[in-house]
């Protein structure tokens, strides 16, 4: 195949890591694709040597957000009805009315939810979103770009942003094949599907089954199982630096072994600083028993708060914070952009730490890619910041039901439990790692280092 032009649509910054900073671009070039990034992020992709067309003044219809939010709630309502499972209620965000503009949007959404909570109503909402987006200047601009550039396909890096709707509708209007990548392992049960495309790229057979379950209008022939580029970089040993270089750069103690504490955002884990403090207490006890351990604290990349400051100051002899190298270009979480440098920082942090501790994140798969264990926090602190939040809510989420064996992680069931579980993690407990590997193979198509190759082969199949 020669010179097929592929538009890689980046509706927001979350797709940069998977499709700009991975091997995805280089592999596509080797297959003789002409790759153009259709870029709606503030990141200048030309600095990486990419061909890019920047999207200017992307703007949705005033009503689209209200209809999009209604669609999410209606899908969750239908899941509750179909499965008799109230877990779907936990995926909702509260409607806020403190400011006029969001209040009006939310009132419209609530009216639509009340009047359209059925399969027919959901279809009407979906069609209305399309008709709204086809009326604007943004859609017309996308049409003009596509008519000029004539790409053979438009591949969207993320199924969630409303700003992806108009470009994809414009492509479909012109008969250009469209596809979207499902961004995260928990996205489908949460009703985060905003776009409708001709084809869908998923992480695994498990995710394919989820897509068919939640969106029965999608046919199996429209779905390609590729895996995610999210984990591909862990198998690129050329980016790994020596322990001496890593320790010197980050001012670590060469006489210590380090565990990693991986932080969450405030919404996911409001009590995260207390959990970090509990881990520090356990490490201090272990050191008093003759061990020489430290903690590398990697905060959530979109958390720029000062909520950890007190814990970090109190335990500065034990905890070394190494902040993610993300760029903050706006106030919203999706305007905080990953960088290529952070991808390498994360890889080397994993390589040079013994294990990871956190609250139920996909870091379990990052660490098992390096044959290292993960410990999940599984208790509530005594003085919770948010009385309505509980760790038990986290592990009831649908995506944790994919865990084939509860021993795929080490469970931290109390503060007193942490010390012994760190001991287990330090000896790289083979049973835990083997079970985590089985879970990884359920969640992500293997071998994980061949993801980019599989994506481009799927694109080639579509074009043929």
Kindly report the three-state secondary structure assignment for every residue of 52-97. Answer: EEECCCCCCCCCHHHHHHHHHHHHHHHHHHHHCCHHHHHHCCCCCC
In the sheet that holds 355-358, the strands lie side by side as: 319-321, 293-298, 257-262, 355-358, 373-377, 410-412
pLDDT of residue 282: 98
Query: What is the average per-residue pLDDT within 354-377?
Result: 97
CB 257 within 8 A of CB 294: yes
Q: What is the pTM of this model?
A: 0.95
pLDDT band for 314, please (50, 70, 90 cuts).
very high
Q: Best-predicted range by mean pLDDT among 92-101, 277-286, 425-434?
A: 277-286
Residue 1 has pLDDT above 50, yes or no: no
Mean pLDDT for the stretch of residues 89-106:
93
The answer to whether residue 2 scores a pLDDT higher than 70 is no
Answer yes or no: is pLDDT of 353 > 50: yes
pLDDT of 49 reads: 93
The pLDDT score that the predictor gives to residue 14 is 87
Going by pLDDT thresholds of 50, 70 and 90, the confidence category of residue 61 is very high
- Report how far residue 274's alpha carbon sits from residue 389's, in angstroms, rounded to the nearest whole number: 14
Instruction: State how beta strands 327-328 and 336-337 pair.
Output: antiparallel
Lowest mean pLDDT among 45-49, 411-415, 435-439: 45-49
Whether the CB-CB separation of 208 and 214 falls below 8 Å is answered with no
Please state the rounded mean pLDDT for residues 220-245: 96
Domain 4-59+136-228+448-463 has CATH 3.40.50.2000: yes
Q: What is the mean pLDDT of the chain?
A: 95
The average pLDDT across 308-312 equals: 98
The residue-averaged pLDDT of 128-150 equals 98
Confidence of residue 331 (pLDDT cuts 50, 70, 90): low
Phi, psi dihedrals of residue 224, rounded to the nearest 5°: -120, 130
Q: Are 145 and 53 in contact (CB under 8 A)?
A: yes
What is the reported pLDDT for 3? 85
Give start-end residues of each CATH 3.40.50.2000 domain in the chain: 4-59+136-228+448-463, 234-443
- Please state which CATH class domain 234-443 belongs to: alpha beta
Residue 162 CB contacts under 8 Å (≥ 6 apart), including other chains: 60, 64, 65, 68, 194
Positive or negative: CA dihedral 63, 69, 72, 78: negative
Inform me whether the pLDDT recorded for 329 exceeds 80.
Answer: no
């Amino acid at each position: 195949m020669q010179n097929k032009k592929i538009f890689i649509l980046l509706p927001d910054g979350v797709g940069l890591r998977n499709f700009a900073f991975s091997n995805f671009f280089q592999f596509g070039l080797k297959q003789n694709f002409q790759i153009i990034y259709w870029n709606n992020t503030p990141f200048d992709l030309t600095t990486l040597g990419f061909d890019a067309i920047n999207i200017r003044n992307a703007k949705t219809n005033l009503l689209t957000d209200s209809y999009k939010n209604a669609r999410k709630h209606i899908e969750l309502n239908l899941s509750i009805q179909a499965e008799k499972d109230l877990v779907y209620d936990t995926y909702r965000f509260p409607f806020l009315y403190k400011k006029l503009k969001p209040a009006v949007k939310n009132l419209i959404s609530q009216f639509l939810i009340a009047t359209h909570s059925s399969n027919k109503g959901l279809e009407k909402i979906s069609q209305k979103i399309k008709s709204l987006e086809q009326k604007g200047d943004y859609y017309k601009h996308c049409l003009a770009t596509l008519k000029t550039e004539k790409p053979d396909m438009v591949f969207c890096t993320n199924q969630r942003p409303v700003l992806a709707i108009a470009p994809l509708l414009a492509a479909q209007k012109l008969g250009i094949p469209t596809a979207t990548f499902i961004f995260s392992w928990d996205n489908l049960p949460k009703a985060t599907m905003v776009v409708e495309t001709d084809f869908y790229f998923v992480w695994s057979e498990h995710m394919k089954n989820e897509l068919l379950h939640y969106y029965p209008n999608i046919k199996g022939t429209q779905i390609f199982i590729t895996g995610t580029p999210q984990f591909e970089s862990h198998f690129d040993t050329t980016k790994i630096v020596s322990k001496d270089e890593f320790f010197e750069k980050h001012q670590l103690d060469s006489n210590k072994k380090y565990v990693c504490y991986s932080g969450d955002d405030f919404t996911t884990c409001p009590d995260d600083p207390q959990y970090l403090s509990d881990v520090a207490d356990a490490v201090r006890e272990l050191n008093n028993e003759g061990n020489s351990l430290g903690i590398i604290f990697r905060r959530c990349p979109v958390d720029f708060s000062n909520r950890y400051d007190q814990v970090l100051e109190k335990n500065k002899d034990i905890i070394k914070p190494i902040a993610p190298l993300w760029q903050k270009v706006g106030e919203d979480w999706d305007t905080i952009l990953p960088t290529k440098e952070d991808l390498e920082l994360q890889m080397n942090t994993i390589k040079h730490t013994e294990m990871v501790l956190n609250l139920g994140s996909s870091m379990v798969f990052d660490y098992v890619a390096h044959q290292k264990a993960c410990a999940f926090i599984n208790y509530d602190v005594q003085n919770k910041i948010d009385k309505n939040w509980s760790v038990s809510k986290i592990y009831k989420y649908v995506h944790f039901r994919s865990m084939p064996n509860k021993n795929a992680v080490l469970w931290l069931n109390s503060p007193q439990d942490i010390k012994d579980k760190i001991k287990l993690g330090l000896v790289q407990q083979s049973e835990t790692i083997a079970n985590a590997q089985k879970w990884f193979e359920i969640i992500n198509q293997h071998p994980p280092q061949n993801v980019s190759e599989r994506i481009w082969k799927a694109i080639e199949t579509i074009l043929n």
